[in-house]
């Protein structure tokens, strides 16, 4: 299966091995692409010999934790496990958590195929829209909207990376999978420690150079179907006081559909300085640049005829992202830890496109009277925000047993500028200039958030622990500017206490039961305060959605052969915000309002089988089988859509995979099935004039990936995504990059070389 070098930390019986503009973009890509790709190919093939590195104990860990252990394994280590009871300054006991170890995962990391990378998480539903023009795919859980992860608290190294968590929670950037050491997932109970989201949190943890006494370089180059050219190079290491890590990632793709080419570049650097054994400072910076040609959406008839067709050639988008963070940690003692992180985001999203007027059936054609295309529309959004988070962990004795208190505060201030409806050019290139007019809507939104939380892990006995918790949130939203929408800019200030309690019982030395109930809410987003379209008004009594998550499960390992996590969940989502029709004495109009309550309930199961685990020395042969299953019943229980299924909420999500390795070669085959769903709350079976409305059919996709060690530290990677060339789609949209159906990608082949030295 290949040599893996992983750090192991104790903590729970089932824990796995732990883990600005167009001219700027034009200058970056031509100058960086060629030399970096050449350097990648050179370093991959360079016959340099890697010397074994010694491990370096982590002296800041509690006495109950062991130091770092180096493991070299030719058989697959368990890819997925759950987080320990306490990690750094966060309590995870009694919560449904997963952690994916990237070094043990065989997947197409060069293209960040989410259904392979996050596919082992039961109930994960993916919005596969990257090929249609979205900057990244999205994920959702338990029947929540997966589009650009809007219901998830998405983080990188514990730092929020969404545009604005409380007003515009869309994720336009996620770190490249090749840079990650692990991915941590916390379901609904994450609302207490991380934020109020119903969908919990996903934390992408980038490598940091730990335990590498000398500089270690990794480089990979991958090519594939439809012009894929991917390059990733990194360097990391540490010394007595310093550790560092950085990477450069470049990707060019001509696109599976015409007018679907994209370019992106990401640069990351981090360093940590240990002033003493107790005091540590860290600094990190991420820069992401992209340019996407958006092929647009399709009608149902167009999709049935040819899902690769494109009738939009003039739609472009870019979303330059900048993230910086400064952190400090101080260990007062082995039982007390203080951590403070300040992060700053300065990012944008801008596009020029033939807008949604007329729906997906409106042709983007030359006007015979003028001899030119119709003018395009320009949109520009800016995101600037700062966040200060401080967490304190205290281990203490209560009634003779060791307990752990985790508490913290969060301060957030965000400014979003939204400029829409600008008259664009009649051309087809990436041109963001305005021609003959100004913006139809020019708005500035502001969000101030103050939050505090506290959780206490109470160990009642050696087997039983209880974790009560509380979080308080205050939000103030403001807006100013002008728009053609008939709406009132109402100041919104509100606060919510969120309560929760969890429990965990160790049934055996390697299995445990867990239960958790935790409050959640979703703030009023900017799109609801000032909705699109001049006929949509805002209900003056509009209020934030609220509810709670509940989990009950059993997880663990049996005889080192079977790993499992079996659970049921119940999610109450009250006062969902949507659009309804209102009739007064003079007319009828659409209104943005609270349209009803929904209930999401179901079961989730993950089972992983390692049949050779107890068959003596099986280092030359490896076999790993897994299944990730979820049944979700998400329905409206009040309001005009009572009894209907929640939109974008398939009932069944099933993924089955097998990894087999012989000597230096390993291979994984994964089958992913997603049952049918609806694009709208009306549950329309047939398409209507609204591009969002309609049925989303079930689909099954096969993915195959493999790797072969070629000697030394060189590895060949290869695979085929959508092996059976299934025709499918995951989303309908009424806005960019559509409107209409956004097709999933067909069969694609990739081949790569990677080298560490």
Stronger pLDDT, 262 or 38, i.e. the higher one: 262
What is the rounded (10 degree) CA torsion for 316, 322, 323, 326?
A: 180
**Which secondary structure element, helix H or strand E, spans residue 526, and what is its range?**
helix 526-529
Confidence of residue 2 (pLDDT cuts 50, 70, 90): very low
Q: Is residue 219 scored above 90 in pLDDT?
A: yes
**Which secondary structure element, helix H or strand E, spans residue 36, and what is its range?**
helix 22-45
Residue 27: partners with Cβ closer than 8 Å, 6 or more residues away: none
What is the pLDDT at residue 186?
96
Q: Is residue 10 scored above 50 in pLDDT?
A: no
Q: Is residue 73 scored above 50 in pLDDT?
A: no
What is the pLDDT at residue 26?
41
The Cα 566–Cα 560 span in angstroms is 17
Ramachandran assignment for 681, one of left (phi > 0), alpha (psi -120 to 50 degrees), beta (any other): alpha
Locate 602 and state its tokens: 């179901």
What is the pLDDT at residue 56?
38
Q: Is residue 547 scored above 50 in pLDDT?
A: yes
Q: Please give the sequence-ordered ranges of beta strands (E in DSSP) within 225-364, or none if there are none.
A: 228-238, 242-253, 262-274, 279-293, 316-318, 321-333, 336-353
State mean pLDDT over 63-70: 40
Q: Is residue 454 scored above 80 in pLDDT?
A: yes
pLDDT single digits (tens) 236-248: 999 889 999 999 9
Locate 260 and state its tokens: 């679907």
Domains in the chain, ordered, with CATH?
22-756 (2.40.170.20)
Q: What is the mean pLDDT of the chain?
A: 85
């Amino acid at each position: 299966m290949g040599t893996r070098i992983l750090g192991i930390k104790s903590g729970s019986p089932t824990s796995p091995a732990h883990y600005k503009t167009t001219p700027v973009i034009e200058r970056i890509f031509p100058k960086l692409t060629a030399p970096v790709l050449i350097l990648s190919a050179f370093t991959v093939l360079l016959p340099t010999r890697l010397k074994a590195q010694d491990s370096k104990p982590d002296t800041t860990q509690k006495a109950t934790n062991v130091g770092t252990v180096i493991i070299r394994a030719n058989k697959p280590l368990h890819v997925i496990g759950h987080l320990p009871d306490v990690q750094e300054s966060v309590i995870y006991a009694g919560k449904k958590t997963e952690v994916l170890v990237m070094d043990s995962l065989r997947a197409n990391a060069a293209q960040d195929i989410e259904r392979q990378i996050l596919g082992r998480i039961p109930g994960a539903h993916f919005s596969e829209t990257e090929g249609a023009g979205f900057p990244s795919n999205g994920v959702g859980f338990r029947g929540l909207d997966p589009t650009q992860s809007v219901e998830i608290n998405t983080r990188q190294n514990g730092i929020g990376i969404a545009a604005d968590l409380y007003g515009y929670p869309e994720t336009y950037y996620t770190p490249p999978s090749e840079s990650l050491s692990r991915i941590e997932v916390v379901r609904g109970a994450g609302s207490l420690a991380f934020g109020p989201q119903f969908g919990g949190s996903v934390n992408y943890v980038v490598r940091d150079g730990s335990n590498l006494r000398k500089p270690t370089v990794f480089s990979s180059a991958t090519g594939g179907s439809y012009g894929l050219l991917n390059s990733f190079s990194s360097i990391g290491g540490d010394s007595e006081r310093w550790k560092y890590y950085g990477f450069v990632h470049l990707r060019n793709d001509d696109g599976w559909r015409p007018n679907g080419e994209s370019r992106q570049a990401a640069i990351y650097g981090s360093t940590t300085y240990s002033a003493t054994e107790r005091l540590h400072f860290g600094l990190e910076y991420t820069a992401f640049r992209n340019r996407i040609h958006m092929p647009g959406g399709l009608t149902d008839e167009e999709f049935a005829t040819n899902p690769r067709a494109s009738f939009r050639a003039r739609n472009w988008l870019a979303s330059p992202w900048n993230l910086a963070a400064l952190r400090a940690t101080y260990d007062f003692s082995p039982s007390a830890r203080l951590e403070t992180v300040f992060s700053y985001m300065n990012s944008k999203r801008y596009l020029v496109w033939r807008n949604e007027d007329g729906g997906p059936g409106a042709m983007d054609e030359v006007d015979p009277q003028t001899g030119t295309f119709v003018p395009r529309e320009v949109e520009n959004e800016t995101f600037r925000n700062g966040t200060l988070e401080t967490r304190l962990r205290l281990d203490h004795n209560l009634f003779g047993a060791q307990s752990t208190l985790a508490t913290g505060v969060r301060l957030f201030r965000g400014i979003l500028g939204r400029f829409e409806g600008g008259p664009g050019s009649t051309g087809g290139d990436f041109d963001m200039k305005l021609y003959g007019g100004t913006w139809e809507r020019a708005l500035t939104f502001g969000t101030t958030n103050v939050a505090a939380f506290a959780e206490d892990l109470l160990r009642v006995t050696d087997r039983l622990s209880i974790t009560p918790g509380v979080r308080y949130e205050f939000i103030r939203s403001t807006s100013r500017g002008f728009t053609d929408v008939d709406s009132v800019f109402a100041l919104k200030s509100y606060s919510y206490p969120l309560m929760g309690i969890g429990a965990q019982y160790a049934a055996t030395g390697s299995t445990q039961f867990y239960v958790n109930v935790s409050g959640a809410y979703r703030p009023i987003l900017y799109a609801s305060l000032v909705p699109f379209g001049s006929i949509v008004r805002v209900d003056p009594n509009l209020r934030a959605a609220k509810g709670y998550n509940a989990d009950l499960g059993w997880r663990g390992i049996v005889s080192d052969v079977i790993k499992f996590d079996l659970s049921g969940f119940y999610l109450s989502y009250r006062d969902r915000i949507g659009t309804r029709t209102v009739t007064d004495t003079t007319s009828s109009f659409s209104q943005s309002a609270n349209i009803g309550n929904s209930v999401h309930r179901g079961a989730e199961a993950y089972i992983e089988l390692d049949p050779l685990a107890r068959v003596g020395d099986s280092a030359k042969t490896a076999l790993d089988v897994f299944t990730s299953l979820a049944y979700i019943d998400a329905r409206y229980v009040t309001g005009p859509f009572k009894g209907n299924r929640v939109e974008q909420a398939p009932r069944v999500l099933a993924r089955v995979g097998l990894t087999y390795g012989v000597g230096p070669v390993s291979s994984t085959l994964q089958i992913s099935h997603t049952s049918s769903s609806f694009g709208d709350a009306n549950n329309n079976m047939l398409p209507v004039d609204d591009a969002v409305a309609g049925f989303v059919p079930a689909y099954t996709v096969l993915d195959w990936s493999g790797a072969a060690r070629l000697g030394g530290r060189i590895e060949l990677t290869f695979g085929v995504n959508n092996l059976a060339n299934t025709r499918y789609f995951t989303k309908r949209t009424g806005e960019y990059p559509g409107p209409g159906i956004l097709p999933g990608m067909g069969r694609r082949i990739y081949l790569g070389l990677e080298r560490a030295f």
